[in-house]
Structure 1
Amino acid sequence: MFKRIMVPVDLAHKNKLDRALECAADLAKRYDAMILYVGVTASTPGAVAHTPKEFGAKMDAFAAEQAEKYGVSAEAVTLVSHDPSVDLDPTLLKAIEDNNADLVVMASHIPNVADYIWPSNGGTIAKKADVSVMVIR
Protein backbone atom coordinates (compact mmCIF):
# COMPACT_ATOMS: atom_id res chain seq x y z
CA MET A 1 0.00 0.00 0.00
CA PHE A 2 2.69 2.54 0.98
CA LYS A 3 6.23 2.57 -0.41
CA ARG A 4 7.72 5.91 0.69
CA ILE A 5 6.73 7.34 4.06
CA MET A 6 7.83 10.89 4.75
CA VAL A 7 8.36 11.94 8.37
CA PRO A 8 9.10 15.63 9.00
CA VAL A 9 11.67 15.93 11.79
CA ASP A 10 12.52 18.91 13.98
CA LEU A 11 15.84 17.90 15.52
CA ALA A 12 15.44 20.59 18.19
CA HIS A 13 12.38 18.70 19.45
CA LYS A 14 13.19 15.11 18.56
CA ASN A 15 12.31 13.99 22.09
CA LYS A 16 8.66 14.87 21.31
CA LEU A 17 8.47 12.75 18.17
CA ASP A 18 8.40 9.26 19.70
CA ARG A 19 4.78 8.40 18.85
CA ALA A 20 5.08 9.60 15.24
CA LEU A 21 8.43 7.83 14.77
CA GLU A 22 7.05 4.59 16.18
CA CYS A 23 3.92 4.82 14.03
CA ALA A 24 5.95 5.46 10.86
CA ALA A 25 8.27 2.55 11.67
CA ASP A 26 5.32 0.23 12.28
CA LEU A 27 3.78 1.18 8.94
CA ALA A 28 7.13 0.85 7.16
CA LYS A 29 7.57 -2.69 8.50
CA ARG A 30 4.00 -3.62 7.66
CA TYR A 31 4.25 -2.43 4.05
CA ASP A 32 8.00 -2.94 3.49
CA ALA A 33 8.29 0.79 2.87
CA MET A 34 11.20 3.24 3.01
CA ILE A 35 11.06 6.06 5.57
CA LEU A 36 12.27 9.48 4.51
CA TYR A 37 13.13 11.63 7.53
CA VAL A 38 12.89 15.22 6.28
CA GLY A 39 14.51 18.10 8.13
CA VAL A 40 14.39 21.77 7.17
CA THR A 41 17.13 24.18 8.19
CA ALA A 42 18.18 27.73 7.45
CA SER A 43 21.43 28.60 5.73
CA THR A 44 22.40 30.62 8.80
CA PRO A 45 23.64 29.15 12.10
CA GLY A 46 20.92 27.84 14.40
CA ALA A 47 20.43 26.04 17.68
CA VAL A 48 20.84 22.57 16.13
CA ALA A 49 23.68 23.19 13.67
CA HIS A 50 25.98 25.93 12.46
CA THR A 51 25.75 25.08 8.76
CA PRO A 52 23.42 23.15 6.45
CA LYS A 53 26.23 20.59 6.00
CA GLU A 54 26.41 20.01 9.77
CA PHE A 55 22.59 19.81 9.91
CA GLY A 56 22.65 17.25 7.07
CA ALA A 57 25.17 15.13 8.98
CA LYS A 58 22.93 15.21 12.05
CA MET A 59 19.92 14.23 9.92
CA ASP A 60 21.91 11.33 8.41
CA ALA A 61 22.86 10.15 11.91
CA PHE A 62 19.24 10.46 13.06
CA ALA A 63 17.99 8.40 10.10
CA ALA A 64 20.63 5.72 10.70
CA GLU A 65 19.74 5.61 14.41
CA GLN A 66 16.03 5.20 13.63
CA ALA A 67 16.69 2.55 10.97
CA GLU A 68 18.71 0.50 13.45
CA LYS A 69 16.30 1.04 16.34
CA TYR A 70 13.22 -0.06 14.40
CA GLY A 71 14.74 -2.34 11.76
CA VAL A 72 13.49 -0.32 8.78
CA SER A 73 14.97 1.16 5.61
CA ALA A 74 15.47 4.86 6.06
CA GLU A 75 17.23 7.86 4.63
CA ALA A 76 17.53 11.51 5.54
CA VAL A 77 16.48 14.41 3.36
CA THR A 78 17.86 17.80 4.31
CA LEU A 79 16.24 20.92 2.87
CA VAL A 80 17.49 24.48 3.20
CA SER A 81 15.02 27.35 3.51
CA HIS A 82 15.61 31.08 3.86
CA ASP A 83 13.23 31.14 6.82
CA PRO A 84 11.97 27.71 7.96
CA SER A 85 9.45 29.24 10.36
CA VAL A 86 7.71 30.93 7.42
CA ASP A 87 8.50 28.51 4.58
CA LEU A 88 8.03 25.20 6.39
CA ASP A 89 4.66 24.19 4.94
CA PRO A 90 5.47 24.92 1.27
CA THR A 91 8.91 23.33 1.70
CA LEU A 92 7.37 20.13 3.12
CA LEU A 93 4.68 20.05 0.43
CA LYS A 94 7.37 20.31 -2.26
CA ALA A 95 9.38 17.57 -0.51
CA ILE A 96 6.39 15.24 -0.74
CA GLU A 97 6.37 15.63 -4.51
CA ASP A 98 10.14 15.69 -5.02
CA ASN A 99 10.63 12.48 -3.02
CA ASN A 100 7.56 10.63 -4.32
CA ALA A 101 6.21 10.15 -0.81
CA ASP A 102 2.86 8.39 -0.70
CA LEU A 103 2.22 8.90 3.02
CA VAL A 104 3.22 11.57 5.52
CA VAL A 105 3.38 10.75 9.22
CA MET A 106 3.96 13.79 11.36
CA ALA A 107 3.86 14.72 14.99
CA SER A 108 1.52 17.39 16.29
CA HIS A 109 0.79 19.14 19.53
CA ILE A 110 -2.40 19.44 21.49
CA PRO A 111 -4.29 22.38 19.93
CA ASN A 112 -4.31 25.67 21.79
CA VAL A 113 -5.78 29.13 21.29
CA ALA A 114 -3.09 30.13 18.76
CA ASP A 115 -4.25 27.32 16.45
CA TYR A 116 -7.50 29.18 15.90
CA ILE A 117 -5.50 32.12 14.52
CA TRP A 118 -2.62 30.36 12.76
CA PRO A 119 -3.11 26.91 11.29
CA SER A 120 -0.89 24.08 12.50
CA ASN A 121 1.73 22.61 10.20
CA GLY A 122 0.03 19.22 10.34
CA GLY A 123 -3.34 20.71 9.48
CA THR A 124 -1.94 22.66 6.55
CA ILE A 125 -0.06 19.64 5.16
CA ALA A 126 -3.13 17.42 5.56
CA LYS A 127 -5.30 20.01 3.82
CA LYS A 128 -2.99 20.69 0.86
CA ALA A 129 -1.08 17.45 0.23
CA ASP A 130 -2.13 15.11 -2.54
CA VAL A 131 -1.20 12.08 -0.39
CA SER A 132 -2.50 10.63 2.87
CA VAL A 133 -1.32 12.42 5.99
CA MET A 134 -1.37 11.01 9.53
CA VAL A 135 -1.05 13.63 12.24
CA ILE A 136 0.01 11.92 15.46
CA ARG A 137 -0.52 13.46 18.90
Structure 2
Amino acid sequence: MYKSILVPIDLAEIDLAKSAIAQAAMFSRTFDAKVRLLNVMAMTPVMLAEYVPADFDTQQRETSEQALAAVARDCGIDGAHLSSIVRQGGIYHEILEEAADIKADLIVMTSHRPAMRTYFLGSNAGHVVRYAKCSVLVVRQGAAT
Protein backbone atom coordinates (compact mmCIF):
# COMPACT_ATOMS: atom_id res chain seq x y z
CA MET A 1 0.00 0.00 0.00
CA TYR A 2 2.75 2.50 0.96
CA LYS A 3 6.13 2.48 -0.75
CA SER A 4 7.63 5.85 0.20
CA ILE A 5 7.09 7.38 3.64
CA LEU A 6 8.28 10.79 4.80
CA VAL A 7 8.74 11.49 8.52
CA PRO A 8 9.45 15.14 9.39
CA ILE A 9 11.31 15.45 12.70
CA ASP A 10 11.85 18.45 14.93
CA LEU A 11 15.26 17.70 16.46
CA ALA A 12 14.41 19.97 19.39
CA GLU A 13 11.58 17.57 20.29
CA ILE A 14 12.84 14.09 19.48
CA ASP A 15 10.63 12.50 22.15
CA LEU A 16 7.60 13.91 20.35
CA ALA A 17 8.77 12.34 17.08
CA LYS A 18 9.19 8.82 18.50
CA SER A 19 5.56 7.87 17.97
CA ALA A 20 5.65 8.98 14.32
CA ILE A 21 8.89 7.07 13.78
CA ALA A 22 7.34 3.96 15.35
CA GLN A 23 4.34 4.21 13.00
CA ALA A 24 6.63 4.65 9.99
CA ALA A 25 8.71 1.65 11.11
CA MET A 26 5.58 -0.49 11.32
CA PHE A 27 4.45 0.60 7.83
CA SER A 28 7.96 0.00 6.49
CA ARG A 29 7.98 -3.58 7.77
CA THR A 30 4.40 -4.25 6.69
CA PHE A 31 4.62 -2.81 3.17
CA ASP A 32 8.38 -3.08 2.52
CA ALA A 33 8.37 0.71 2.25
CA LYS A 34 11.26 3.15 2.20
CA VAL A 35 11.34 5.78 4.96
CA ARG A 36 12.91 9.23 4.67
CA LEU A 37 13.56 11.15 7.89
CA LEU A 38 13.51 14.91 7.36
CA ASN A 39 14.63 17.82 9.49
CA VAL A 40 13.97 21.37 8.39
CA MET A 41 16.36 24.06 9.58
CA ALA A 42 15.02 27.57 9.87
CA MET A 43 16.65 30.30 7.81
CA THR A 44 18.89 32.66 9.78
CA PRO A 45 17.03 35.98 10.01
CA VAL A 46 18.78 38.74 8.07
CA MET A 47 18.82 41.01 11.12
CA LEU A 48 20.89 38.41 13.01
CA ALA A 49 23.28 37.55 10.17
CA GLU A 50 25.89 40.10 11.19
CA TYR A 51 25.97 38.76 14.77
CA VAL A 52 26.64 35.11 13.95
CA PRO A 53 29.79 33.53 12.48
CA ALA A 54 30.05 33.46 8.70
CA ASP A 55 29.78 29.66 8.68
CA PHE A 56 26.82 29.56 11.10
CA ASP A 57 24.45 27.90 8.61
CA THR A 58 27.07 25.28 7.75
CA GLN A 59 27.66 24.53 11.44
CA GLN A 60 23.91 24.26 12.04
CA ARG A 61 23.50 21.91 9.09
CA GLU A 62 26.34 19.65 10.29
CA THR A 63 24.86 19.55 13.79
CA SER A 64 21.42 18.72 12.39
CA GLU A 65 22.80 16.01 10.11
CA GLN A 66 24.65 14.39 13.03
CA ALA A 67 21.56 14.50 15.26
CA LEU A 68 19.36 13.10 12.49
CA ALA A 69 21.89 10.32 11.86
CA ALA A 70 21.71 9.40 15.57
CA VAL A 71 17.90 9.26 15.36
CA ALA A 72 18.18 7.07 12.25
CA ARG A 73 20.55 4.64 14.01
CA ASP A 74 18.13 4.21 16.90
CA CYS A 75 14.81 4.16 15.05
CA GLY A 76 14.51 0.43 14.38
CA ILE A 77 14.10 0.75 10.62
CA ASP A 78 16.28 -1.44 8.41
CA GLY A 79 19.14 0.61 6.95
CA ALA A 80 18.31 -0.52 3.41
CA HIS A 81 14.88 1.08 3.79
CA LEU A 82 16.01 4.27 5.53
CA SER A 83 17.45 7.59 4.43
CA SER A 84 17.59 11.06 5.95
CA ILE A 85 17.94 14.62 4.78
CA VAL A 86 18.25 18.11 6.24
CA ARG A 87 16.61 20.95 4.33
CA GLN A 88 16.53 24.65 5.06
CA GLY A 89 13.54 26.96 4.73
CA GLY A 90 9.93 27.19 5.83
CA ILE A 91 8.85 24.05 7.65
CA TYR A 92 5.65 23.05 5.90
CA HIS A 93 6.92 24.23 2.51
CA GLU A 94 10.04 22.07 2.79
CA ILE A 95 8.02 19.07 4.00
CA LEU A 96 5.75 19.34 0.95
CA GLU A 97 8.74 19.83 -1.39
CA GLU A 98 10.54 16.78 0.01
CA ALA A 99 7.36 14.70 -0.23
CA ALA A 100 7.09 15.66 -3.91
CA ASP A 101 10.82 15.03 -4.53
CA ILE A 102 10.68 11.47 -3.17
CA LYS A 103 7.17 10.80 -4.49
CA ALA A 104 5.97 10.03 -0.98
CA ASP A 105 2.64 8.30 -0.71
CA LEU A 106 2.46 8.88 3.06
CA ILE A 107 3.69 11.57 5.44
CA VAL A 108 3.75 10.54 9.11
CA MET A 109 4.17 13.44 11.49
CA THR A 110 3.40 14.41 15.04
CA SER A 111 1.51 17.41 16.27
CA HIS A 112 0.89 18.98 19.61
CA ARG A 113 -2.61 19.09 20.93
CA PRO A 114 -4.41 21.98 19.22
CA ALA A 115 -4.31 25.28 21.05
CA MET A 116 -6.41 28.35 20.45
CA ARG A 117 -3.53 30.07 18.66
CA THR A 118 -3.33 27.29 16.05
CA TYR A 119 -6.99 27.70 15.18
CA PHE A 120 -6.28 31.27 14.09
CA LEU A 121 -2.70 31.03 12.82
CA GLY A 122 -2.58 27.44 11.60
CA SER A 123 0.15 24.95 12.34
CA ASN A 124 2.75 23.20 10.24
CA ALA A 125 0.83 19.93 10.51
CA GLY A 126 -2.35 21.73 9.47
CA HIS A 127 -0.68 23.17 6.38
CA VAL A 128 0.77 19.79 5.45
CA VAL A 129 -2.62 18.08 5.84
CA ARG A 130 -4.31 20.75 3.68
CA TYR A 131 -1.76 20.89 0.87
CA ALA A 132 -0.07 17.48 0.67
CA LYS A 133 -0.68 15.51 -2.50
CA CYS A 134 -0.44 12.25 -0.55
CA SER A 135 -1.96 10.77 2.59
CA VAL A 136 -0.93 12.31 5.90
CA LEU A 137 -1.04 10.54 9.25
CA VAL A 138 -0.89 12.99 12.15
CA VAL A 139 0.10 11.25 15.36
CA ARG A 140 -1.38 13.38 18.12
CA GLN A 141 0.55 14.06 21.31
CA GLY A 142 -0.90 15.27 24.60
CA ALA A 143 -4.48 14.40 23.73
CA ALA A 144 -6.75 13.49 26.60
CA THR A 145 -7.52 9.78 26.84
> Which TM-score bucket, shorter chain as reference?
0.7 to 0.9
Which letter does structure 2 place at the counterpart of 1:51? Q
Q: Deviation digits for residues 83-105 of structure 1, max 9, x if unmatched?
A: xxxx1111111111112211100
Q: Which 4+ stretches in 1 moved above 4 angstroms? A: none
Cα distance, 1:42 vs. partner?
A: 3.6
Is 1:7 the counterpart of 2:13? The answer is: no
Aligned to 1:59: 68
1:123 corresponds to which of 113, 126, 145: 126
Which letter does structure 2 place at the counterpart of 1:98? D
Which letter does structure 2 place at the counterpart of 1:56? E
Cα distance, 1:17 vs. partner?
A: 1.7
2:85 corresponds to which of 77, 80, 89: 77
Scaled by the length of structure 2, the TM-score of the pair is: 0.79
Cα RMSD, aligned residues only: 1.9
Aligned to 1:107: 110
CA distance in 2, matches of 1:119, 1:42: 18
Runs of 5+ consecutive residues of structure 1 not aligned to the other structure: 82-86
Is 1:97 the counterpart of 2:105? The answer is: no
Is 1:39 the counterpart of 2:39? The answer is: yes
Q: Is the 8 A contact 2:106 2:135 kept in 1?
A: yes
User: Match of 1:101, SS?
Assistant: coil
Scaled by the length of structure 1, the TM-score of the pair is: 0.83
* Identical-pair percentage: 29
Which letter does structure 2 place at the counterpart of 1:28? S
Cα distance, 1:43 vs. partner?
A: 5.8
User: Match of 1:51, SS?
Assistant: helix
CA distance in 1, matches of 2:64, 2:9: 12
Runs of 5+ consecutive residues of structure 2 not aligned to the other structure: 45-51, 53-57, 141-145
Cα distance, 1:54 vs. partner?
A: 2.5
Q: Is the 8 A contact 2:9 2:39 kept in 1?
A: yes
